[in-house]
Structures are given as C-alpha cells and as structure tokens.
Chain A
C-alpha cells in the first residue's frame, strides 16, 4: 500500500510538489525559529551565569535582612575553602556589594560598589567581557576603581580622576577616595549607570573587614541551557557541605524573572510553529480532498474488490503522511544544514545587535536545536498529516462502492 500511496501522490506532480514544498518551508522556518530561539536563550544563559554564576552562596535568610551587616558572610576565607574543597572544578568569585553614594566633579550618584576577587579564569573573562578602557583594579589595590561607562559620564570623570564614595551604616571606614583606573561596559544601560568595581580588599576596608556578601560559582563545562540540570547535583553537594547557615541558590533562584522568561521561550515558539503548521495543513487538506474527488471511481473499484473502510481510510492517511513526511524531510535537511552553519556563531546586523546588547544579550550567538524541538517538529508534522487528511479520509470511508463507481466529476 505504501508503493500505491507514493505513486498516487505523484499523479499530480505540480500540486503535490507545492504541498510538500509548503510543509518543507514550514519545517525549515520552524527549525530556524527554534535555532534562533535556542541561540538567544543560550546567550541569555551565558550572560546570566557570567554575571550571577551558576550557583550563589549567601547567608541563609539574606533576602529578608534589613541591616547591611546581617547579610554578610563573616568567615569568608573558611567558607571559600569549604567551597573549593567541595567543588574544585568551579571557577569562583567572592563579592562584597556595598550600596553607597559616589561623587565626582561635583556630581553624585547612588550606586552599588562591588568589591570582587575572581579566580584567574573568571577575572580574565570579566576583563574581556566588560573592560573597555584602562585596567581592572589589582587584587590588593586599595585605591583603584573601575566605573560603568555611563556612570563615569554622569559623574563627568575620566581615567585618572578621583572619586569619593560614602557608605554610611557599614562596618568599615565608611568613606574612601579612589582613582578611576578603568571603564566598564556591562551591556545593560541600567547596570552601566549604577555599577562600580573595586578589589575585594578595598571594599572590605570600606565596608566589612574579612566579609563578603556572596560567592558566585561558575562551571566552565556548562555553557548551554540544555546542560543546566547538572548544576542541581552541585547545589545539593554544596548545601550539604556548608550546612544550614548558608543558602546555595541556582541562577534561576537568583534571577527568577529571567529564568521564567527563558522557560517561556520554547512553549511560545512551539505555539507559533503550530500556527505555521495549521496553515500548511489547510493546503494538505485541499490537496488530499482534490485527490479523493479525482479518484472516487477508483476508490469505488477498490472497495468493490473487497477493501474495507479501514483500509480505504488508511490509504488516504498514508498518502497524506507520505506527502507531509517527504516535505518535512527536505525542510529538516535544509534546516539542519542552516543550523549547522549558525551553530558556528553568528551576529545580528546593527542596530539589532546593539539593541540586544542593551538587553544583556551577547553580540555573537550560537544556534542549536534540542532533541525535544526536533521531536516537536516531527509530532507537528504527523499531526498535520493526520488531521489534514481526517475529513477526506472519513469521506472516502463512507463511499458506497456501486455509487462511487458511477461517479462522474
């Protein structure tokens, strides 16, 4: 019956090619759509985990504290030692975030000063990603500060200028003068306008000796969203090692809104893809129905020879399935080849690239498609083939052999 169905499809070559082509196009578009969506998701994931780490360690209950002092990890060196012993493969950053008022050239802005000590790889990554002028303050530099570019412009300061920071209510000196040694670009305007970077030692001297606000942990081998589930095991191990005084959170818990946005991407893309398939399905229905009308006498003969309704319905469905699967195979081949190229890295043209950068996305994206997305395309194709042929198939199944053999179009 497959051979018969296949040959029947090609009786009207032009019409079948157009229908299979429509399915191919929809599959191609869906592949590219999924590929781009995955690229954007992976870009977001990359940026989020670079900034927040895959895991963060805080004191338990840190979200509810009212005083700066209550949110600190005081025995930072011991906790860091414990973290590195438990997860030696993790790159780390120890950070002390200090809210304060930064003044320069007679202007001032409320900012969050981050004193950070990175593992060497993360420091290099931070520098490559964010530093646009000058240098980063060295590990034990108590004088240097790097400012977000927008913040520097707002304060009208440049490299070499002096800025003054006031951090009342903290546990250190509470005030300090720094020399601008670097300018940073965080990608996002809001971050750029309120962020400044000093060494962890400088921040501790200013606000909380020997303490940090958080540890961030990044796993270099987990770079794509599809691999993200692996961090749960690390979270569990670290929670057990550190005990109840500390909370280990994944990036999803740290950035729930972004996590929810990323989670929504795939279902949203699937909904749009489904709409594409519905439109293509209407064309398939038309093709199969016309094919039925043209062959009613033939169906009458087939039934007269002894085919039952199930076999006739099966023949119509088989034709629709073969037509759609053939189209889908072509679309998937072109889609797969396109994605293979896009997986090497691609950039959106300006000004789109800058607009995306403003939203915190990287300038280079890497397309990809997951097995579940490929299966979604396959399921949509099968569903389109079956649903589109359902009405013609039912009509064929209801034919009476004698009447069908007398039919004239």
Chain B
C-alpha cells in the first residue's frame, strides 16, 4: 500500500519551568492509504502529541515527518496551515464545533476556509452529513444536538473537504459506549466503502476490535504495531 504519512525518529519534549516531559522518544511510523488505524495506549503515552505532529499541528524537537514525498516538520506556520486545510481532516475529543454556526455551516466550515463558493460548499457539507446519517439536523446549532450528533457533525466537517487523511484524537472519549461504537462504525464504513484513511487515538480497548491496525504507545515509544482483521 502507498505510504501517505511517515515519521523518522521523532522526539518531542515539553518543558514546564524546570521540568521536562518527554512525550515522544524516537517514533518511527508509516501510515498507508486506506488504513483504519488506532493509536492506543494509556493516558500520557504520547498519543495526542503524535497525532498533533502527524497532522502538522505541532513540530517535533527532533526527527522527520513526511507527507508523501514532502517533508513537513520544518514548514512555516502558514505552510502548515495550508497543509492542514488541504490534506487533513481533524476530529477532536470535545467535538469543538463552532457554537454560533448550524450543523450545515459547521460541516462546511473547512470548505469556507478554502474559499469555496457558498452553494458548492453547502452541497458538499450536506452530502457529508447525509453520509453520517444526520442530514435532517442541518439547521440545528451544536447546543441543540446530542454529543453523538455533534461528533458526527465534526466527522462530517473533516470529511467534507475530501482530505487524504482524517486524524481523530480520542473521538469517542466524551460519548457513551453505544454512541461511541456507532461513531466508530460510521468511520469504519467510510473507510471500507469510500477508502477514507483514518488514524485515531483511543484508550478504549473495545474500539480496537474494529480497526485494521493498532499502534501501541507507551512512554512515548511504539511498543507494538499489529495489523488486524476488521471485525
């Protein structure tokens, strides 16, 4: 399979006053097109940090990050912003929808940042909401949606721009188990039917039954990388 994202020996250290925290200690990882990958590990293992660096939200202190044939860890803020806008979709743990926008407008937000005309972006956003089964909620604002619905809008926002890779940081952490599982099943269907590549972090072992690959992190290092059969 084609490698779309890879890291070489990346290290990340946070400094708080005199205290240094080594979040990542030499991570080598390749993500291939069409994968449905989970990064698993206990709290503090470096899952979020790794996702942030892979998604161009943060930079490593050492090592390399490649998107296809382009090295991205040394790009400027503006170049990284453009990269995130055009290549990645993001889903966050706390949904992070914009409260004054409707579900449709939230789903279309990345497209608006890209400068797409209103009619076109709303059509794409509606399509994404329909894929996630919430087309009837287009006019509702986040405070009128349940947690699961909000997270599906967030996935639709990531999906609408048709990115090469969707990165999700603990997407089910704030959802009850049933709703979380339903969301993962939606993502899984997008992966298997539409070929969308997903990389998400989780500490919920039940979700790992649905992924095609699990990367285990402990203390900032990959301790296990297993390719599984989808359930």
Contact across chains for A309 and B78 when beta carbons are under 8 A apart: yes
- Separation in Å of the A212 CB from the closest CB of chain B? 75
Q: Enumerate B77-130 residues with CB–CB distance to A below 8 Å.
A: 77-78, 81-82, 84-86, 88, 90, 92, 96, 98-101, 105, 109-110, 112-114
Tell me if A306 is interfacial: C-beta within 8 Å of chain B: yes
Give complex CA distance A308, B112 in Å: 13
A303 to chain B: which residues have CB within 8 Å?
81
Contact across chains for B110 and A305 when beta carbons are under 8 A apart: yes
Contact across chains for A306 and B78 when beta carbons are under 8 A apart: no
The number of residues on chain A lying at the interface, defined by a beta carbon within 8 Å of a beta carbon of chain B, is 21
Tell me if A1 is interfacial: C-beta within 8 Å of chain B: yes
Tell me if A4 is interfacial: C-beta within 8 Å of chain B: yes
Q: Which of B81, B92, B101 contacts A308 (CB 8 A)?
A: B81
Contact across chains for A306 and B96 when beta carbons are under 8 A apart: no
| Residue of A with least CB distance to B157 | A305
**A402/B113 contact (C-beta < 8 A), A4-B101, A306-B85, A309-B78 known:** no
Give complex CA distance A7, B88 in Å: 27
Q: Enumerate A230-273 residues with CB–CB distance to B below 8 Å.
A: none
B218 to chain A: which residues have CB within 8 Å?
none
**A306/B84 contact (C-beta < 8 A), A11-B100, A301-B92 known:** yes
- Separation in Å of the B54 CB from the closest CB of chain A? 13
**A4/B57 contact (C-beta < 8 A), A305-B85, A308-B82, A309-B78 known:** no
Contact across chains for A304 and B100 when beta carbons are under 8 A apart: no
Give complex CA distance A298, B98 in Å: 7
Tell me if B52 is interfacial: C-beta within 8 Å of chain A: yes
Q: Which of B58, B90, B99 contacts A305 (CB 8 A)?
A: B90
Tell me if A401 is interfacial: C-beta within 8 Å of chain B: yes
Give complex CA distance A303, B113 in Å: 10
Tell me if A85 is interfacial: C-beta within 8 Å of chain B: no
| Residue of B with least CB distance to A308 | B81
Q: Mark A1-16, 1 if CB is under 8 A from B, else 0.
A: 1011001100100000
Contact across chains for B92 and A402 when beta carbons are under 8 A apart: no
Contact across chains for A306 and B113 when beta carbons are under 8 A apart: yes
Q: Enumerate B18-69 residues with CB–CB distance to A below 8 Å.
A: 52, 55, 57-58
**A401/B57 contact (C-beta < 8 A), A306-B84, A306-B110 known:** yes
Q: Mark B185-226, 1 if CB is under 8 A from A, else 0.
A: 000000000000000000000000000000000000000000
A301 to chain B: which residues have CB within 8 Å?
92, 96, 98
Q: Enumerate A1-45 residues with CB–CB distance to B below 8 Å.
A: 1, 3-4, 7-8, 11
Contact across chains for B52 and A307 when beta carbons are under 8 A apart: no
- Separation in Å of the B194 CB from the closest CB of chain A? 21
- Separation in Å of the B81 CB from the closest CB of chain A? 4
Tell me if A342 is interfacial: C-beta within 8 Å of chain B: no
| Residue of B with least CB distance to A11 | B100
Tell me if A405 is interfacial: C-beta within 8 Å of chain B: yes
| Residue of A with least CB distance to B101 | A4
Q: Which of A7, A8, A11, A308 contacts B78 (CB 8 A)?
A: A308
Tell me if A311 is interfacial: C-beta within 8 Å of chain B: yes
A298 to chain B: which residues have CB within 8 Å?
96, 98-99
A305 to chain B: which residues have CB within 8 Å?
84-85, 90, 109-110, 113, 157
Give complex CA distance A152, B84 in Å: 90
Give complex CA distance A298, B86 in Å: 20
Give complex CA distance A301, B96 in Å: 7
Contact across chains for A402 and B58 when beta carbons are under 8 A apart: yes
B105 to chain A: which residues have CB within 8 Å?
3-4
Interface centre among A7, A304, A305, A307 (most CB of B within 10 A): A305
**A304/B84 contact (C-beta < 8 A), A1-B112, A405-B96 known:** yes
Give complex CA distance A4, B113 in Å: 12
Q: Which of A1, A3, A405 contacts B92 (CB 8 A)?
A: A405
- Separation in Å of the A405 CB from the closest CB of chain B? 7
Contact across chains for A402 and B101 when beta carbons are under 8 A apart: no
Interface centre among B81, B105, B110, B112 (most CB of A within 10 A): B81
Give complex CA distance A181, B77 in Å: 90
- Separation in Å of the B153 CB from the closest CB of chain A? 13
A3 to chain B: which residues have CB within 8 Å?
105
| Residue of B with least CB distance to A306 | B85
Residues of A in contact with B (beta carbons under 8 Å apart): 1, 3-4, 7-8, 11, 297-298, 301-309, 311, 401-402, 405
14 cross-chain CB contacts under 8 A:
A1-B112, A302-B113, A304-B55, A304-B84, A304-B90, A304-B92, A305-B90, A305-B113, A305-B157, A306-B82, A306-B86, A306-B110, A308-B78, A401-B57
